[in-house]
A and B are shown apart, each in its own frame.
Chain A
Amino acid sequence: MTKKRKNLLKQIVMYTILFIMTIVIFYPLLWTFGISLNPGNNLYGANMIPENWSFTHYKWLFTDPQSMYLTWYKNTLIVAAFSSFFSVVFVTLTAYAFSRYRFIGRKYGLYAFLILQMFPVLMAMVAIYILLNTIGLLDSLWGLVLVYVGGSIPMNAFLVKGYFDTIPRELDESAKMDGAGHFRIFFTIMIPLAKPIIAVVALFNFMAPFMDFILPRIVLRSPENFTLALGLYNMVNDQFANTFTRFAAGSILIAVPIAIVFLFLQRYLISGLMSGSTKG
């Protein structure tokens, strides 16, 4: 067999594998989109390629008085905006201290972060429930924000610290010589130079409430406080087959924007994770 034919054979095999993967990836996604265009509510009669397609379900979600989709959207946006903002504040401050200062407990603090980020929040659900209940934040969006911000600190502080470490120390030392204070260095040197990673932290914390359903399920009780993920989950869970087409429409509306943002951002996340993990 000549080298050329061998290469051709290799190429065919590789493209075939990639082609199969593409089908496997797209099939469930396109199926969902197809289902969401079926006019009926029922999954039994629904087809991936509907005979008479329509946008009824999309319209229903936005206009029907029974639909709480917009309320859920608003709730999710509130939770997302606040938890993203507060996470960035706490995370950057913590990371700044860990990256630029030597203080007692620094080393063990770093190890504690490493361990804590491995424990699932779920393990603590009973206590979180009781804690929020005692301080009166159960069934409130603020309680949810609080839990998200607290949970985001270990992992993200690690990421941002890794990035801060790559900013040359000479910069802030010369600023210190010129008489800049701690906060001045933080706001005029560190923050502007670390914009990419801060954007990533902000956006990932913004997206988390759109994707998480289990914490809202523990914290929120009344439907008017639901976030999108929880609302949609209940939609399928209550009467599975009967509202599935509607659920499909609702999911497409969340999945598309999130996927687009994500595809743009994943490079930064990967490089952040890699530098964080090798530097420890």
Chain B
Amino acid sequence: MKKNPKLAAALSILPGLGQLYNKRYAKAGGLFILFISFFAVFYNFLNIGFWGLFTLGEIPRVDDSRILLAQGIISLLVVVIAITFYIANIIDAYKDAKLINNGDFRTMLQRFRDAWDKSFPYAIVAPGLFLLIFLVVFPLLYMFFLAFTNYNLYNAPPRNVLDYVGFENFKALIEVDIWRNTFFSVFTWTIVWTLVATTLQIALALLLAIIVNHPLIKFKRLIRTILILPWAVPAFVTILIFSALFNNQFGAINNDILQPLFGLSIPWLSDPFWAKVALIMIQTWLGFPFVFALFTGVLQSISDDWYEAADMDGASGWQKFTGITFPHIMFATAPLLIMQYAGNFNNFNIIYLFNAGGPAIREQNAGGTDILISWVYKLTFETQNYNMAAAISIIIGLIVASVAAFQFSRTRAVQEEGEI
């Protein structure tokens, strides 16, 4: 009997009905039960969730806006997943009907096996995807919604209910003096920090990689191991140690090195400028080994033919570097170097562990060395300015996303050469 695929799809608006029309009884039953139980289980949850997402609760002390918002976002995610299944159900009915028209002689067991083959990749991606959605995507969405509420120390659930305030928080960043001053100085320092610290890391790594790879240098393996050591020691340990070494009063750098040798003592922790200098030096110490290891790998893979050809043409050492070595290295490692910049942009650990973003600065609510992400941490856990923290997070997110988009265009260009 001929089936009408479009009718099958249309009937599937009630899941199971289209499959029933296709005479796939087991599938129809399964889908219908799934459909009914979805509503039975989630109806109340979704109902409250969406109400919560839109209103954020109405009665103080009874409605906890934070929980309602979380439930609302989870409802949103559940509905998106459900819609995906729903569409799959319609497409499935349509395809089944078409298959039957073309003569489908498979037995039920065969059909079952084919279905298993087809759904296998989805089945094994599902558990990881589920975790990812709830532990990474959900929190990011939550942050996004918070940025448009008035959640701070003075207006905190469960005592009060939250309200949506539109773009007020972003406006405050520009219009309110203390926020504008802080945002401007933190933002510029974040950019300077990212560019200077990362570039220094890369430059030092490049210099050392070339030296170690030079034919005149012996004990290459030993030297490489030593140079990678700062990467191998857990960073939180080394940063805390550096913070003690740089201490103004009893730090070894002032007391044992600068004082006896040059007779001066620098206020590493209490002066913003010197604290920044110290941070950049420490990050260079911590970060160059990774880049060094990358560069060493590339240098070893450049064929000697290139250099021999250059020697024949009488190229100088510098010409060989700019013409052969540097382009090779950059081509092979550019995506990873961009990741380094992105990593330092959000390098919370070093800022927080070294001096907790300090020293304090007048007329702003972030410390002198705070970068955006550590400022967000302070606003969240120390002064409970959740709304502002979320708004700044969105700005961080936009910057990270645009770097990622740039990455994309590069990798896509690479992909066209071969299959990914």
A positions within 8 Å CB-CB of B: 7, 10-11, 14-15, 17-18, 21-22, 24-26, 28-29, 31-32, 43-44, 48, 90-91, 93-94, 96-98, 100-101, 103, 106, 109-111, 114-116, 118-128, 130-131, 134, 146-147, 149-151, 153-154, 157, 182, 210-214, 218, 229, 232-233, 236, 240-241, 244, 247-248, 251, 254-255, 258-260, 262-263, 266, 270-271, 273-274, 277-280
Contacts and interface: CB of A to CB of B under 8 A. Distances in A.
A172 to B, nearest CB: 13
A119 B140 contact: yes
B229 A119 contact: no
A206 to B, nearest CB: 13
B340 to A, nearest CB: 11
Interface residues of B, number: 94
A114 B411 contact: yes
A182 B414 CA distance: 30
B400 A118 contact: yes
Interface string B243-277: 01100001010001000000000000000000000
B242 A28 contact: yes
Interface string B179-203: 0000000000000000000000000
A119 B256 CA distance: 41
A25 B208 CA distance: 13
Given A114-B407, A122-B376, A146 B135 contact: yes
Contacts of A122: 346, 348, 373, 376-377
B143 A31 contact: no
Q: Is the interface of A mostly helix, strand, loop or mixed?
A: helix
Interface in B339-360: 339, 342, 346, 348-349, 352-353
Contact of A11 (B67, B216, B250, B346): B216
Interface string B213-239: 010110000010111111111111110
Contact of A31 (B245, B250, B376, B408): B245
Contact of A111 (B120, B233, B339, B408): B408
Interface of B: 66-67, 70, 117, 120-122, 124-125, 127-129, 131-132, 134-143, 146, 207-208, 211-212, 214, 216-217, 223, 225-238, 240-242, 244-245, 250, 252, 256, 285, 293-294, 297-298, 332-333, 335-336, 339, 342, 346, 348-349, 352-353, 373, 376-377, 380-381, 386, 389-390, 393, 396-397, 400-401, 403-404, 407-408, 411-412, 414-415, 418, 420
